[in-house]
Structures are given as C-alpha cells and as structure tokens.
Structure 1
Amino acid sequence: AQMIESGMVESAEQAVAFLTQLIPAGRFAEPEDLADLMLFLCSDASRYFTASEFTLDGGYSAI
C-alpha cells in the first residue's frame, strides 16, 4: 500500500502509528502471516474447507 504525504499527518511514522491503532492485532501483517495461512491451506488440517474466504487483516474488518 502506498501513502501520499499531505497535511493530514506530520510524518509517515505518525500515519503508521495511527493506522496501527485501528488494527485489533496491534500491528500490520508480515509476510510470515500470509505464509502461515498458505501452509495451513496446503496441509491436511484444511482438508474439509471448501469455497472459503479468509481475511488476513488482524481483525480490522471485524470492528
């Protein structure tokens, strides 16, 4: 995701701090988070999942 500098925030660090507060998990996703989901979906543990949608957003869409 890209951010555009504007008068709304003083710095990119301030924008990141503000956006992080909106995520219940308290942080942005890391590549490992997506990798963990992919490994789960490729494993036998997910053998009964069909036509499912997984949202990887740290709980943001649940609020």
Structure 2
Amino acid sequence: MTEELKFAVRIAIEGCDDRTVIDLEVSASERDFLERLSGLSKEASTYICQPTLGLAHRQAGDVA
C-alpha cells in the first residue's frame, strides 16, 4: 500500500476584527479543494470586513 503524500497548510478565516487559524496536514486533493474554496470566498466577499478563507503552505514541523 502506498502512503499518500501530505502537505502542511495553515487555514485562516479572517474578517476585520477577528481571525481563526487552523494548522493541519492535508492530501493533495484536499489542498486543491481548499485553494479553490479560498479563491471562491474572496470572489464572493462583497466588502472588506466580510470574512474570507486564506490558505498558506507551511513547512512540516512549523509551529503556529
């Protein structure tokens, strides 16, 4: 059985006055979905303070 490659990512849900950050490891297909969702959240946002989803790639072992 082949082990699936994992990617370390940081997900941030951000608005003007608050931020929620989640660090996790995801598969390639999950990463692709999160990248798409991040872009869609920015497209759908109608004003600067509306929360959007940000995604950053991290090095494995990075500490928040």
With normalisation by structure 2, the TM-score equals 0.36
Please report the TM-score for the alignment, with normalisation by the length of structure 1. Answer: 0.36
- Which structure has more relative contact order (CA 8 Å, sep 6+)? It is 2
Question: Between Structure 1 and Structure 2, whose CA radius of gyration is higher?
Answer: 1
